[in-house]
Amino acid sequence: MNPNQTLEDESHPSITAVNRRVQRLSLHLSPLPPHQPSPQLHMLTCAKAANKLEVDKASLRCYMRGKNRELQERVINFFESRPDLQTPVGISMDEHRELCMRQIVALVRDAKFRPFRYVVDDHAKYFAITEAVGSIDVSLGIKLGVQFSLWGGSVLNLGTKKHRDKYFDGIDNVDYPGCFAMTELHHGSNVQGLQTTATFDPITDEFIIDTPNDGAIKWWIGNAAVHGKFATVFAKLILPSHDSKKFSDMGVHAFIVPIRDLKTHQTLPGIEIQDCGHKIGLNGVDNGALRFRSVRIPRDNLLNRFGDVSRDGKYTSSLPTINKRFAAMLGELVGGRVALAYSSVGFLKISVTIAVRYSLLRQQFGPPEQPEVSILDYQSQQQKLMPMLASTYAFHFAGQFLVEKYSEMKKTHDEQLVADVHALSAGLKSYITSYTAKSLSTCREACGGHGYAAVNRFGSLRNDHDIFQTFEGDNTVLLQQVAADLLKQYKDKFQGGTLSVTWNYLRESMNTYLLQPNPITARWESTDHLRDPKFQLDAFRYRTSRLLQSVAGRLRKHSKTLGSFGAWNRCLNHLLTLAESHIESVILARFIEAVQNCPDASSQAALKLVCDLYALDRIWNDIGTYRNVDYVAPNKAKAIHKLTEHLCFQVRNIAGELIDAFDIPESVTRAPIAMQSEAYSRYTHHVGFQ
């Protein structure tokens, strides 16, 4: 029964008596009545339903800016001052590639920005720069990432002092444009299955790089088709041995391979480079394919942080097994996933800004004999865009948290934090980029026919972002990594092991979450209860704990007959749902924390409203799960749906202020339909009307 009585119930004595007894029982069964706030997650005051929140835009904008906003503004202002570096609509692939190279060179040599130095000592600033340049041109952001994070980062993170001394300045000033040659035609996600070989020749003290078959051709290699002079090539390290096999495979290692002459830019002997051609998006990035035919490189070109070969061909490593060396090598490359998660939020901010501003401007239909109304006043448009706007805010704070954790990891090298960031970056990269990809199409549709115009940017944003779902790790594969880590944590929990930071709620609350749902709280439907962050976070974590327990049981059952691989495949969809549920819990926890830490009362109230919408919309979208286990009774499910629709309306009332708080200049959005003023006149002027 619902503890909030109605007058109708009070008119029936028998019902009243039952209700009184249920109320008394609820005091014994639940120590936290619905009207009392949690001591840890206190309720925040928000405006009444009938009133529009008054938002201090300057304060909210300041809270959202982040500490590196001024650095980003300097980057944006530089490109605004250089019309010759701005990317026109409809630029050809060849022109776009050359423009992107000029943009990077100008950023480094003319504007005196040094992104590579931030890769070394201030990762938050590096990610801020990549977000800013990506807002100028997404291809530019990706090409910059290939140069400094992938090619440069591999030298820094997988090499040793001799490599940094030799290559740092050339990478930093773009004299040494480079590539990151990991993916092959036949192998992408399965990096341990790479077939390119690097065989040591003890006579000449060299490695011989070979592509043994067409399936081993390096494919989709950024910077390779036109501009790259070096490549970090991932290949199996083959050493001569004295046993019957004559050779020993030491696993995948990274090697620096020159691919073009530094002076003439001609392709070097033994190397064949082909152009991967026109792509769906990102055509300013020159992706190429590389084949190696007995290419000899000095022994010193092995990036030897985790494993080395001596002059006489002996292998040494501080890590005892191939798997441990491989894990350590890949662990140093998670920065790319962090960058993609962070950058994807930037895409979402721009697309939501365009769609919301247009929806506020655009008027269609209305009551008889009255002016037409804004299309954002329609419930259907609110349902499309307001939960998306709430998600954008949620992802903003989650992205900031990820960058902070990554920066801390790079400074401390704490093993537990390394493991935590590895799984967290995999989960957030997968979840955020998948959500953004779907949202870009929704935003396009929400803007009708005008959203189809190239100048209004949804097409290019959608196409450029599409690859985010599969590079730096296929999203489905990354979610499996999250699920595998959750299962490991689950096992450790029952064996008394230490849980990593992001996972610690499993230790603290697993037993609580796996109890049978309380039949009293399952029916609570008051607005204060539904908007209590404790209820919201408990609901998210209950779902994750329930999914984790059930999939662990299924895996044990099926592994007896199908083996571990077959059992995993049988439960794969269940595992993916588990991973997504966990990541949603992490995102909500960070959002709640950000709301509580906001110093301005009006901004805090606005953020609380948006956070409630994010949480309840997610619960409603998976209401079947909660209903199936009786965590939410039918009346409560109905109340959640009703409140979610009402929160959409309330967020719509401050949508303009929320969008403005992103502080995205019109030179970045660039869509005529998103202009703050004279949007239609700019649009008509663009097509030629005077």
Residues with a catalytic annotation lie at 472
Amino acid residing at 279: K
Residue 685's CB is within 10 A of a number of other CB atoms, namely 12
Helix (H) or strand (E) segment spanning residue 364? none
Amino acid residing at 236: K
Sign of CA dihedral 504, 510, 512, 514: positive
DSSP letter at 108 equals I
251 is in an annotated binding site: no
Helices (H), 318-414: 322-331, 335-361, 379-412
- CA distance linking residue 338 with residue 432, whole number of Å: 11
Q: How many residues are recorded in the chain?
A: 690
Amino acid residing at 184: E
What is the rounded (10 degree) CA torsion for 349, 351, 354, 358?
Answer: -120
> Assign residue 472 a region: left if phi > 0, alpha if psi is -120 to 50, beta otherwise?
left
- CA distance linking residue 227 with residue 225, whole number of Å: 7
**Strand 230-240 vs strand 295-298: parallel, antiparallel, or unpaired?**
unpaired
- Contact by Cβ (8 Å): 402, 420: no
Burial class (CB in 10 A: 0-12, 13-18, 19+), 219: buried
Query: Going by C-beta distance under 8 Å and a sequence separation of 6 or more, which residues neighbour residue 429?
Result: 337, 338, 340, 341, 344, 472, 473, 475, 478
Query: Going by C-beta distance under 8 Å and a sequence separation of 6 or more, which residues neighbour residue 644?
Result: 613, 616, 617, 620
- Contact by Cβ (8 Å): 267, 244: no
Q: Which two tokens stand for residue 510?
A: 């697993």
Q: Which two tokens stand for residue 344?
A: 């994807």
392 is in an annotated binding site: no
Q: For residue 315, list its beta bridge partners.
A: 309
Q: Which two tokens stand for residue 337?
A: 């996933």
Tell me the CA distances in angstroms from 503 to 419, 423, 424, 430, one per residue in order: 11, 10, 10, 18
**Strand 178-181 vs strand 230-240: parallel, antiparallel, or unpaired?**
parallel
Q: What is the CA radius of gyration of the chain?
A: 28
Query: Going by C-beta distance under 8 Å and a sequence separation of 6 or more, which residues neighbour residue 672?
Result: 455, 456, 679, 682, 683, 686
Tell me the CA distances in angstroms from 673 to 141, 290, 362, 667, one per residue in order: 24, 43, 9, 13
Residue 52's CB is within 10 A of a number of other CB atoms, namely 12
Q: Which two tokens stand for residue 621?
A: 């979208």
- Contact by Cβ (8 Å): 541, 513: yes
Q: What are phi and psi of 217, to 5 degrees?
A: -60, 130
DSSP letter at 4 equals S
Q: For residue 363, list its beta bridge partners.
A: 374
Helix (H) or strand (E) segment spanning residue 298? strand 295-298
- Contact by Cβ (8 Å): 152, 166: no
- CA distance linking residue 177 with residue 170, whole number of Å: 8
Binding-site residue numbers are 183, 222
Binding-site residue numbers for FAD are 183, 222
